[in-house]
Amino acid sequence: MNTALIVGVTGIAGSALAESLVADGWKVLGLARNPERQEGVKPIAADLLDEAALRGSCQAQSRCTCSSRAGCDRTQRPRASVSTARWSATSSRPSGRRGSVRHVALVTGLKHYLGPFEAYGKGDLPKTPFRENQGRLDVANFYYAQEDELFAAAKRDGFTRSVHRAHTVIGKAVGNAMNMGTTLAVHATICKETGRPFLFPGSLAQWESLTDMTDAHQLAAQMLWAATTPEAADTAFNIVNGDVYRWSWMWGRIAE
């Protein structure tokens, strides 16, 4: 039986991946600070910023496919994200055995192309549509740091790896507020109950620009495919639904 370790299993991407892997017959280990009960998932409670506790919690696990995604506030995210990638690529290797981990999948996103929050959309940006082989921006970016940790560990320990660059991910994750689906639902509910107009909460540029989304289960399907397809090894992938739209068109349909 294949075994997968999902780091951040209570997140939007992690929850969808766990559901897909369980349905596909995998043994799934789910790591989170406060694991929720998920059908078919063995919970592992650990904090990504506590390396000693992480090793103690997971040293007995082997042959894992790891999905790395940090869940933390904006000030913690660079440190925690790099810690996630470093730990996922090394600490899940029990007793230092090379080959015990077959594949590591890392989820990043649009900020790979547009920069981190503090530099988002500034400077000399690549032309759209964004392609996986476009070079990095000349700015410090925690996504690049994550990739570098992953690439170094893969070279050292002999596992394959994949990077999955999603757009805004829509999915179901109980208690996860960083989810546009939940945000829009709460906004609409408040407007309906208070009799306020359902106004678009973004900017004019967002209202008029083309955009797209990534369904969490679409992302999960790509990650599973990349982990089990030899031709997909050591590659980065953009992943979106493919239906491009403008909020000026979509907003009225959500309101209905």
Domain that holds residue 161: 3-171+212-241
Highest mean pLDDT among 1-5, 15-19, 55-59: 15-19
- pLDDT band for position 176 (cuts 50, 70, 90): confident
Specify whether 27 is catalytic: no
Residue 110: inside a domain: yes
Considering its fold, how many domains does the chain have in total?
A: 1
d(CA 160, CA 105): 9
Nearest to 180 by CA among 77, 109, 80: 109
Report the C-alpha gap between 18 and 15 in whole angstroms. 5
Does any domain span residue 177? no
Beta bridge partners of 210: 246
The per-residue pLDDT of the chain, averaged, comes to 85
Q: Choose, from 111, 122, 127, 192, the residue flagged as catalytic.
A: 111
Give me the CATH number covering residue 125.
3.40.50.720
Is 111 considered catalytic here?
yes
Res. 119 pLDDT band, cuts 50 70 90: confident
Say if residue 194 is exposed, middle or buried (CB neighbours under 10 Å; 0-12, 13-18, 19+).
exposed
Q: Which range among 24-28, 88-92, 137-141 shows the weakest confidence by mean pLDDT? A: 88-92
Q: What is the DSSP string of 29-52?
A: EEEESSPPP-TTEEEEE--TT-HH
Catalytic residue, chosen from 42, 113, 143, 144, is 143
pLDDT at 65: 44
Asked whether residue 7 is domain-assigned, the answer is: yes
Of the listed ranges 53-57, 113-117, 130-134, 210-214, the least confidently predicted one is 53-57
Q: Determine, yes or no, domain membership for 228.
A: yes
Has residue 254 got a pLDDT over 60?
Answer: yes
C-alpha span between 63 and 67 (Å, rounded): 13
For residue 176, tell me if it sits in a domain.
no
Give domain status of residue 251, yes or no.
Answer: no
Residue 131 pLDDT > 70: yes
| 144 assigned to some structural domain | yes
Please tell me the pTM assigned to this model.
0.85
In a domain, 185, yes or no: no
The proportion of the chain whose per-residue pLDDT surpasses 90, expressed as a percent, equals 61
pLDDT tier at 221, thresholds 50, 70, 90: very high
